[in-house]
Structures are given as C-alpha cells and as structure tokens.
Structure 1
Amino acid sequence: MVYLFLDSSGFGGVESHVQQLALLLQQQNIAVEVIFIRRYPDHPQYTFLAKHRIPFRFLSEISGYRFFRKLSRRDVIHAHGYKASLVARVCRVLAPYHLVVSFHAGEALSGRLALYEGLNRITSFLSRNIAVSRRIQATIPFNCELLRNFIFNLPRIEQRQRHTQLQVGFVGRLSIEKGIDRFVWLSQLHPACQFHVFGDGELSSTVVDQPLINWCGAVDSMTPHWSQLDLLVITSRAEGLPMAALEAMAHGVPVVATKVGELESLLPSRSLVAENQWKQLSILVDELDLAGDIAWQQLSQYSQHRIVSHFAADSRWSQLSEIYQLGRFAPS
C-alpha cells in the first residue's frame, strides 16, 4: 500500500501533484490511500478523491499510533510538506515502512516556517527524498533526486481559437513569492487585455479593488476555466515546477514566465525573462497580443505537444516505481 501523507488547508500545487500521483498509482493497480493530518472544512480535495474512488482518512480522527504501528516493510509513506514529513520520520520508530519525502517549496521562508522547513531538511537523511526542481534539490543536505511534476489526465489535443481581446491569467496563491503584485502592475500596462486572477491568499487585498482585474477567487479545479484564458503569466520570485503551467499548456494555453525553478525545462527561452528583469514580461504579453490568430494557434499547439511528449505521467512511472521500491516483494 502507498499512503500519500500531507497536511492541507487549501488547494494549490502540492494538492494538484498529490492528485496526479494518486491517479497514476490507481492506473498502475497499486493500492493507494491519501492520509491528511487533519480535516479542514469545504476542502475541494475531498470531493475530487471521492469522485475518483480514492480512499482517504484523517489522522486526527483515528489513532495515529495505531495507524503507524500496523504498517510493514511492504508499505510506503510518501510525505508532502514539512509537517507530514517530520511526523512520518518520527513515527518510523513504530514500524519499518519505506519513507519517501517530496520537497516542493521553492520560495524563501521566514519565521517559524523557515525553522520547520530547516528541520525538515536537516532530518532528510532519515528518508528517501525527491525534489521537483534542481534548485530545491541543491538545498537538501542529504541524498535527493529530481522528479519533475507531470500530468496524468491529459486532455485531447485540439485546435483552439483565441479570444478577440487577449485573456491573461494568474493562477496560484496570492503571495509575494508568486508575484501577484507584479501581475497587478502588468494589468495596468495593458488595458486592452482582460486580466483574470484565480486564487486566494494573504495579498488578496491587492486585487480586490483593481478595476482591470477579474478576481475569481480560489476555485476547486482550473479544468473548466482554462478555455477562458489565452495566456498564463507566471510572475513568481521563486518556484519549483508549477502544476499550473503544466495544466495550462496541456489545455492549449501558452505560458510566459520568470526564469525560476524548473520552468527553463518546460518553456522555450523566448517565453522566459530573468527573474530580476520581470518587467520584460510586458513585452511578451504585447508580442502575443499583436501576433495574430495563426501565431497564437501555433504556440497553443506547441504547448499541448510539449506536455504530451515530455510531461505525461507514463514517462515518470519507471522512476517513481523505483523510488517506491515496488519491486522489493515481487515474486521471483
């Protein structure tokens, strides 16, 4: 059994990644269950898991001691986030399960979060470790391998039409790390385009009164919304490999971004700007707005084929199966 273990109060890149993992394991006929540290009200992840018949439980509602104590060497705990990772390492004294930890955080942390994440990294010698970007991988003091994000449910490749007025989107947490302030600045420079924000967070006040921005708030899934967008702009100061970029491209939405995390492995150089020269994203928005329908369609088609050929779930299974050591108890 593979247990995907996390503490999650909202929906973001980590939660999207866990969904893709669960679906891939399910497809490969590997028993999988998602274990949340505690229950949060109205969490969209629960609806998704129930819809796809993926079992899930809450550690706060069962005996944590009994749960970990019954695990065996055949079981895998795959922890996401510092809290789940630290709990899973401590509880290994109760049972000899195989522990895998994913490191997702690409941004610089401060205060207690920095302390906890530092403890997570210092104790990483107690687990098998995965990072979603080379930059994150380089910050882990013990053995850590790169496993880039992937998409399981790839939509059918289609020839989309762009809107007459370019529809520009931001998808993610409204925080300084994600650069929502930069996106607001871009919206003021391009009044001929329509700007949309999907997400919520500590800097929501920066978008709530912006007349040029359609703030949609946090949504359960972006799947029904990608058709509203002609361009995804990633203004982040730090990243891993954002699931929003993979999902956008899979749905034929071109992406331009700051050159952070693993985005260089996903996007062509013409779609990237140096992080400290982020204002040049304005030039890329202008170029796409003026490029015309045919050029936009070509970029949309390129985006879809790029994901299918390099970021499909099947291309990750061999590495993931080895990380989980699923062949340990296979019959000879």
Structure 2
Amino acid sequence: MKFNVVLFVDSSMLGGIETHLVELSKLLTNNHISSYIMFYQDHKNQAFYNLLNQENIRYEFLKGNLSSLLKQLKSFDSNTVIHTHGYKAGILGRLVCKITRHRCISTYHAGEAGTGKLKLYNTLDKLLSPLSINFAVSKQIKHSIKNAQLLENFIAINKSQSNSNKFKTGINIGFVGRLSFEKGPDIFCRLAGNMQQHLNVKFHIFGDGPLKGELPNLHNLEYHGLVERNTIWKKIDVLLICSREEGLPMALLEAISEKKFIISSAVGAIPSIIKHGITGFLIQETNAQHFEQQVEKLLAQSEDHTNTIINNAYSTLEKRFSGKQQFKLLKQAYTGT
C-alpha cells in the first residue's frame, strides 16, 4: 500500500519534539516514504526552519485556524496519513481527521502534566486519544494514555565520532532544553554557583523558555540561547540532565551519538538507558549537591574508565535507538496492517 505522511505540529521553539520530527522525517525518507511537516501556523521559529532547510525536509504553514486545517485535509487523498505531535496539533488533528475520515496517528511526547491552561490542554489531549492510533515515547507517558504503544525516540547514529576525553585538564558541562521549571535550569545554575572555585569546569546553557530572565550572572556560566545542534556538541563534553519530569529526551540520544558523557536525574525513561556507572551517572535525588558529587567523581576517575562508560552508552544507542524497530511499528500504524 502506497501512502503519504503529513507530520502535523504547532511549533514555536527548537526542542525535543522538533528534533524528533527531524529524525522521523529522515527515517521515513530512508525507507522511501513521502512526508512533509505541516505547521498549524508560522511562529517565526527560524532556528527550527533553518535546521529543516539544512536537512532538506519539506514544510509548509497553515493560517492558524480550524478552517485552514479543514480545507487542507480535505485536499488530501485517502492514502494520506496525519501524524500529530504536541497537544494542540493532537487535539485539532484528531477532531478534523474525524470529519475528513483520514487516518490519524498521534505521538505523546510530554511527561509533565503542566499547570493552568497547559494542564487543561494536556487533559483534553488525553481525553481525545480514542480518536487516534497512539504512541508514547516513554513507559511513564504510555501508562497515562489508555490506548498507546511505546515508541521510543530514535536517532540517526553518528558513526564518525571518536572519543578521547581528558577531563582532568578542563570540562564543559551543558544544559540543553527548554528553560522551564520541570527541566530544572535552576538546579543547573545552583550547581554552577557551587562550583565556581573549580576553574577547569565551565557550564553552558542552550535553549529558551520562561525562566530565561532568572538565569544568574556567573563567571563560569555561559548562556548561548537557541543555536544549531551541531554547535552544541562542539562546545560541551558532558550533557547534564537535571529534569524533575521527563519522557525520553532527544538531547540524551543526540549526546550519546556524539559520544558525550551523561549525568542525569533518574526520571522518565532515562534509567532504561543510563545505568549508573555503566552508561553514565544517574542521580536519584535531583538537587545541586548530588550533581556536584557526580561531577567531582567524573573529574577524579581515569580517562579509560570514562571512555568505557561513553562507549557502553553508544552501544546501547546502536541496539535500541537506531530507528529500525521504531519504523516497523510506525509502518503498521500508518497502513493498519
């Protein structure tokens, strides 16, 4: 059965969902499936558009209203599948697909419930889940959706990377993600503040969000904002994830692919990948003091031990997150076979 896939999203930043869409687009192209990204509206998200252009991924914009969405879906033939990402695209996509009788697939990415309007939208998103075939990127999210399959995030493996890390001469630690409470940028900043006496340790923040204005001015902390992903991995040696809530972060998979050392809180699906002392360092209590202890441990351990842990994580990535198994599940959902 020949079919086309429209990846529907309402995106205003460059984060985990956006990175997932890039990897999904590449996976579909590599398997000879025609697809493109359809934005509900243009949020002037230039960093993401630049990435799509760089990867030669097609995209177009609707006008940000239901009538433009309905008109567009009515123009698609019956072999077009709508695959939604994010709560707004999920809610609107399912309702309009019900009218136009298109097959609707939804991927649930968010592990946090949110507050205020966000909590309301997330609740509505889940209530409407019976109208679509659903995937969740972590077991935790899957358990919150009555009819979802687990579809772990995936990434095109970068096989050209080599690792030889001499952390004793200096180390660059990065926070990559949305600057919001659940991601824990405040914890990252407290850690940087606690380690100002370590002149060989530098901290870097990549991302944007509501807590941007609360970032402290520290001599060992640099804020980069939204930048191209390749720029991030050239600047850091360690990805530090201090999230209070999480699914399966795309930044985690990217960092492992780039052979960066991982220090992370034990939330969401992260413990299924990061085993303490084997594929990274895992923090059971998400606070700056415990993260500092693990950074000190990393600085003290041998280069050979560090590289062994990095290579163990990379091997796990190759086995589980290359996209091969994920494509089988996606194809079944797209075709109904």
Q: Settle same-fold status: TM greater than 0.5.
A: yes
Q: Report the identity percentage.
A: 32
Q: Cα RMSD (Å) of the superposition? A: 1.9
1:8 and 2:11 equivalent?
A: yes
Quick one: structure 1 residues 222 and 162, their matched pair in 2 at CA, closer, same or farther if it must change by over 3 Å? Answer: farther
Which amino acid is 2:155 matched to?
I
Residues 29-62 of structure 1 deviation map (CA, whole Å, 9 limit, x = unaligned): 1010100000122522222223333221111189
Q: 1 CA distance for matches of 2:41 and 2:104?
A: 20
Shift of 1:128: 0.6
Shift of 1:207: 2.2
User: How many residue pairs end up in the alignment?
Assistant: 325
Quick one: structure 1 residues 318 and 10, their matched pair in 2 at CA, closer, same or farther if it must change by over 3 Å? Answer: same
TM-score (norm 2): 0.91
Residue matched to 1:145 = 149
CA contact (8 A) 1:35 1:57 kept: yes
Q: 1 CA distance for matches of 2:125 and 2:11?
A: 17
Which amino acid is 1:132 matched to?
V
1:199 and 2:207 equivalent?
A: yes
Q: 2 CA distance for matches of 1:87 and 1:283?
A: 46
Q: Which stretches in structure 1 are left out of the alignment for 5+ residues?
A: none
Q: 2 CA distance for matches of 1:167 and 1:95?
A: 51
CA contact (8 A) 1:154 1:312 kept: no
Residues 281-332 of structure 1 deviation map (CA, whole Å, 9 limit, x = unaligned): 2221111011132222222222322212221122321122112227x5xxxx
Question: Counterpart of 1:302 in 2: which secondary structure?
Answer: helix
Quick one: structure 1 residues 248 and 59, their matched pair in 2 at CA, closer, same or farther if it must change by over 3 Å? Answer: same
Question: Counterpart of 2:57 in 1: which secondary structure?
Answer: coil
TM-score (norm 1): 0.92
Residues 52-103 of structure 1 deviation map (CA, whole Å, 9 limit, x = unaligned): 3322111118943321113343211110111111111111243221101111
Shift of 1:230: 1.8
Q: 2 CA distance for matches of 1:93 and 1:264?
A: 37
Question: Counterpart of 2:101 in 1: which secondary structure?
Answer: coil
Q: 2 CA distance for matches of 1:279 and 1:214?
A: 20
Shift of 1:108: 2.8
Matches within 5 A, 1:140-219: 140=145, 142-163=146-167, 164-191=169-196, 192=198, 193-219=201-227
Q: Which moved more, 1:123-132 or 1:38-47?
A: 38-47
Shift of 1:165: 1.1
Within the candidate set 243, 260, 285, 2:250 is matched to 243
Shift of 1:247: 0.5
Residues 226-280 of structure 1 deviation map (CA, whole Å, 9 limit, x = unaligned): 1322211110000000011111111010111111000011101332122456642
